[in-house]
Amino acid sequence: VPSTPTRREFIVRPRAHSTNNTSETMGGGRKMIVGGNWKCNLDVAKATALVESLNGMEVGTTEVVVSPVFIHIPMVQNTLKKDIAVSAQNCSFTGMGAYTGDISADHLVDMNIPWVILGHSERRQYFKEDDEFLAKKLAYALEKGLKVIFCIGELKEQRENGTTMDVCKKQLEQVVKMLDPEKVVIAYEPVWAIGTGLVATPEQAQDTQKQIREYIASAASADVAAKIRIQYGGSVNGKNCEELAALPDIDGFLVGGASLKPEFADIIKACSGKKRAHPSARAPTAVHMLDSDRIRAPPWSQRAMSQPHCGDAGLWVLRTVWRCHAHKFCHKLS
């Protein structure tokens, strides 16, 4: 009989896929996503306590991903509820081999870790990971089937001298063609706001993320821009998350310090129930406005649909006939 894992002995088991881990929602909108980046924090006891806290949180319709320290991942995988996915904080630009200290995307796949964070400003700043190097990392991670939170953002002096978008475009330039909305999430994190208590104003955050989306539309495609999710990161907490989550181009958050605290539940809740309509969606036509004052279903279809013998199949037929009727009417108007 296998022994029960002790406090410091964990067996890695394949986790069931989260029931809340797709970027699409009904209607094709962008699903809100919240990431918790634990960075280089917590010992085993504190990580265990945090997992217990997460297991008691309601995620609602929000996609939630947490990123523990590498050596804590097996414990988190084995004890965290399946509604929350697990991410690594980094991975190598290459596969397994003579790369002392590195962890490859192959290792993450083998460990059933579905996500990885790449391009975080701390990796760029302290480990000198430049745009070319990060493009290699992203390409290899995607090739191996990982989903990626890819971070970008400007320094304080760059914000002050008006070059924010020049910086963001440069950081995206070598990866923009790889931005598959089903596999990549962009995290816009102004570096001056990370862990400082400073937060971009709602106007700054929305304006910058709107311009990032516009750049993706011009450099990749309008479809990619409409579907790609863009998180905001930088001193997000329980007090400011509601206002930020209401902005149309903010599709969630990448959270640092607050992800280690009970207020992480408030941040998740602020995103739950929200979805972003694709900006590229067609303007409503009369066919989409069946309940408007201008166009209503003809009396014969209203009467028929109210009959008790009109089941689901009958309703579908009647609604299809009515849509054809409305379409012909609109065509005559045009």
Supply the residues annotated as catalytic. Answer: 120, 189
**CA gap 23, 33 in Å, rounded:** 8
- Asked if 244 and 190 count as a contact pair (C-beta separation under 8 A), the reply is no
CB under 8 Å to 248, separation ≥6 — which residues? 206, 210, 276
> Which residues partner with 186 through β-bridges?
150, 230
Q: Token pair of 322, please?
A: 């009515």
* 3-class state of residue 164 by DSSP: helix
**CA gap 108, 89 in Å, rounded:** 11
> Which residues partner with 30 through β-bridges?
24, 276
**CA gap 75, 156 in Å, rounded:** 37
Place of tokens 């001056």: 192
Q: Which run of H or E residues covers position 85?
A: strand 84-88
Residue 65 has phi, psi (to 5 degrees) of: -130, 130
CA atoms lying within 13 Å on the CB side of residue 114: 18
**CA gap 240, 145 in Å, rounded:** 34
Q: Token pair of 129, please?
A: 């990971």
Distances (CA, A) of 200 to 64, 172, 188, 235, 272: 23, 20, 11, 9, 22
Which is it for strands 115-118 and 84-88: parallel, antiparallel or unpaired?
Answer: parallel
- The single-letter code of the amino acid at 201 is T
For the residues of 28-49, what is the DSSP string, one character each?
SPEEPEEEEE-TT---HHHHHH
